[in-house]
Structure 1
Amino acid sequence: MTTEPSDQTIILHLLRGAVPERADEISRLWTQYGHAVDVAPSAKGVTMNADASRIQVDTKTIDLFWLYGFSAWHAIEVYAPALVLATMTGISVDQALKIDEARGPFEFEYKQRIASAQSLIAAEQAADTDWPADVPQPTADRDGLGDAQHMTAFDLVALALAFALLHEFQHVRYSVDSSAPATLPEEEIACDTWARDFMTSGLAAYAKDNGHSYAQVHQKRAMGIALAAVTIHAMTPTHAHWGNRQYPPMAERLTAMISGHNLSAGSPFWLFTGCLLIALMRQEGRPLDIIANSNQEMVEMLIDRLR
């Protein structure tokens, strides 16, 4: 008779798989803090929080990471041509978007996918949402997806979800150790920064042992964290984007998650992240009269504009 793994074990395996070079450390911390993983019944809104005794999440929120991640992955095909044109020619993003006459149908489909993800937040159950036809249903079988693009999106979604769970785990640690920063907004930023650093520090030896360059491993982790950033942005109610007593402004959280990566200006991370941020700006109807000389500079200016 086979025994189904517990929710605790499933989450632990996800974290160990996302950050394999620190798998033993993750297990040690998991044992040390002795917290539970509580899978709550699905409900309207988002369920992902933590206290001293447990991390709580519902399956609908995990589905949201999947649906939003697979949808946001398409931001590259929609906005990369305009972003490349803007940085190469010195025109604004708005100007480059107008020149890209082929963008229209791609952007329409992109917005439909993102709208489906947004409707999932408001739904009671995942089954209440119209799932986009070109987004596969959530599965643990990566290879079974059979499509290179889908497998790449799978990897980034797994990293994004791992980042969010590590963020919640740091809340557990602060609570147990009575070491939390003075205010809740400061604690949120500190948890973001800790999770980012945990996933991206000490990569050189791991990359070498597995036949990858440091830049390859780091940029993939960073892309997963950028995907987490825009997913968390989507999960945060609009009225809280500018901050309140519990949460810092979303621009500060985006900065904490996306900045601080020691990647070259030519890394694909900056192109990917720039496309994600342009998509956010377009969804909010904000002007994109931004002129930048590189994708990295563009990302920095886009984050600043979101403030």
Structure 2
Amino acid sequence: MDVSDAVDQLFSGVLPERIDELLELWGQQEDRVRLLDTPRFLLQQKWGTIQVSELALRQLWLAGYAAWRAIDAYNLPLTLFPLKEFDPEAWSLSPTHAAKEAAFDRLFDKIIEIGEHGRVEGFAWPAEAPFPQDGLKLSNPEMKGTFDLVCMAGAYVFAHEIRHSLFERGDVTPADEMDEERACDAWALSLMLDQAEQYAVANGWPPEIVRSKRILGIIIAQLTVTTLTPRELWDHSTDHPPVSERLRSVLAAATEPTPYWFWITVTSMLLAFARRTGVKIDQASVSQSFRDFAFHICDQLKSRRS
């Protein structure tokens, strides 16, 4: 199924300041993006077309709402307790916190479960997340805010694939496959952020808010990739950079000023996904700020054999 127009609409909503430029580069012809009925995560550029599975879109959606549950679970204890007293096992003794962690865990597990199920039909949708088709109808501000971030995550992953397409069409392509992946990440990040400040100012919004929200969306995209990548390949892939490197490049794009809530929100997301993927985060005392701690968590996302 050709979904090129739907992806154009996605970019128009997320990156209205770049849509004309993007369509000039990428074109407006049919079959730029095709939705394929494939029983696995599929998002790739091949033969001039971006191919995506419904399963991949659902997993990205679930990861976004899992990220929201992560923020709900970890923002409060991170606020209440100094980083030098970082002790997530003690936090879990609180029934309230344990319940919030369990809500995150259920959504995280659904990301994996739908992949193992292999299709959208017959999948038991979790109560903690709305259905994707209800996105534009959401009235709950937290659910709606998460929907916006998921859209930003989607725009980023499609932008990454568009850069592959432009390489295929004749741009000078890096000789190494991993360098091409890095170039696509960098191009997508640039597309999302380079004109965000001018767009915000033109519309009377604080630039740091617009930029920070887009970065959160990109982090959700990278956390989805991390979740779906077998841990033994996190830093031993032959064709993709280490997951920690890819996340670190996004964190580094968060230049100051940032909103007061930004780094604690990022830390909450990283902390929850790291815990559920089996990464034990320690030595929080070396971190002097939530920004430092976010980078510290990122750097510990390593393959088990490292």
* TM-score of the pair, normalised by structure 2: 0.90
Aligned length: 300
**Alpha-carbon deviation of 1:140?**
6.2
- Structure 2 residue corresponding to 1:37, chosen from 9, 33, 37: 33
Q: Tell me if the contact between 1:163 and 1:225 (Cα under 8 Å) persists in the aligned partners.
A: yes
| Alignment partners' CA distance in 2, 1:205 and 1:250 | 31
**Aligned residue in 1 for 2:293:** 298
Q: Tell me if the contact between 2:10 and 2:151 (Cα under 8 Å) persists in the aligned partners.
A: yes
Report the RMSD for the aligned CA atoms in angstroms: 2.3
Residue 264 of structure 1 pairs with residue 257 of structure 2: yes
Q: Pairwise mapping of residues 227-242 of structure 1 onto structure 2 (< 5 A)?
A: 227-242=220-235
- Structure 1 residue corresponding to 2:58, chosen from 42, 60, 63: 63
User: Structure 1 residues 175 and 244 mapped into 2: Cα distance closer, same or farther (>3 Å)?
Assistant: same
| Alignment partners' CA distance in 1, 2:173 and 2:28 | 18
1:132-167 C-alpha deviation (Å, 9 max, x unpaired)? 11311112652x212111100100000001100000
* Bigger Cα displacement from structure 2, 149-158 vs 203-212: 203-212
Report percent identity of matched pairs: 26
Name the SS of the counterpart of 2:210 in structure 1.
helix
- Structure 1 residue corresponding to 2:72, chosen from 69, 77, 87: 77
Residue 104 of structure 1 pairs with residue 105 of structure 2: no
Residue 277 of structure 1 pairs with residue 277 of structure 2: no
Q: Tell me if the contact between 2:2 and 2:35 (Cα under 8 Å) persists in the aligned partners.
A: no
- Structure 1 residue corresponding to 2:133, chosen from 135, 139, 159: 139
| Alignment partners' CA distance in 1, 2:244 and 2:259 | 24
**Alpha-carbon deviation of 1:95?**
6.7
| Alignment partners' CA distance in 2, 1:216 and 1:128 | 39
1:28-70 C-alpha deviation (Å, 9 max, x unpaired)? 1121898721211131x21100035111001221121112211
**Alpha-carbon deviation of 1:173?**
1.1
Name the SS of the counterpart of 1:247 in structure 2.
coil
**Aligned residue in 2 for 1:127:** 121
Unaligned runs of 5+ in 2: none
| Alignment partners' CA distance in 2, 1:126 and 1:83 | 36
Unaligned runs of 5+ in 1: none
Letter in 1 for 2:56: T
Q: Pairwise mapping of residues 7-22 of structure 1 onto structure 2 (< 5 A)?
A: 7-22=3-18
User: Structure 1 residues 34 and 180 mapped into 2: Cα distance closer, same or farther (>3 Å)?
Assistant: farther
Letter in 2 for 1:127: E
**Aligned residue in 2 for 1:115:** 109
**Aligned residue in 2 for 1:180:** 173
| Alignment partners' CA distance in 2, 1:109 and 1:98 | 13
Letter in 1 for 2:253: G
Name the SS of the counterpart of 1:146 in structure 2.
coil
